[in-house]
Amino acid sequence: MATSSFKMPEDFLERIATLSDKTEEIIPKVLEAGGEVVKAKVKANLEAIIGSDTKLPSRTTGELVNALGVSPSGIDRNGNHDVKVGFDEPRKDGESNAKIANILEYGKSGQMAKPFLKPAKTASRSACIEAMKRKLEEEISKI
């Protein structure tokens, strides 16, 4: 039986070791870059549907759009890193931004659904992945 061995270049091994040490710094930056892409698409979709096709004049205050944001990177109960795109709470009028977003997304009795979250998720998937790849490559090149 034939065997072979080879040595990895020292500079490559040093970069891999450094990358391993900086993983906890790099992952949040990469995820937040992707989150910003999704947030931009959600915001565009939300602005397009608010006040459209209503029987009565729109009473929008812009508070829902302004409450949209990306959470800091965190670790879920399964140990996976993540960021969330969602709405800050509470509103000035006491209502819940999540409730209003849910009504817009799925509708209610007498109000048709105007989905903006699910289409944003679908439409921004590839752009989000590309933004995260670019950010990862940028962070790796700094090492």
117 inside domain: yes
Pick the residue with more confidence: 112 or 8?
112
SS3 of the chain = CCCCCCCCCHHHHHHHHHHHHCHHHHHHHHHHHHHHHHHHHHHHHHHHHCCCCCCCCCCCCCHHHHHEEECCCEECCCCCEECCEEECCCCCCCCCHHHHHHHHHHCECCECCCCCHHHHHHHHHHHHHHHHHHHHHHHHHCC
- Does 19 reside within a domain? no
pLDDT at residue 8 above 70? no
Q: Give the model confidence (pLDDT) of 46-73 as tens digits.
A: 999 887 776 667 677 788 999 999 999 9
Judge whether 85 lies within some domain: yes
Cis peptide bond prior to 9, omega within 30° of 0: no
Total domains in the chain come to: 1
- Classify residue 5: in a domain, yes or no: no
Q: Tell me the residue range of the domain where 46 lies.
A: 25-52+60-141
Establish if 29 belongs to a structural domain: yes
Quick check: is 4 in a domain?
no
**pLDDT for residue 110:** 83
Whole-structure pTM over 0.85, yes or no?
no
Contact criterion met (CB below 8 Å) for 115 and 42:
no
Q: Is residue 40 part of a domain?
A: yes
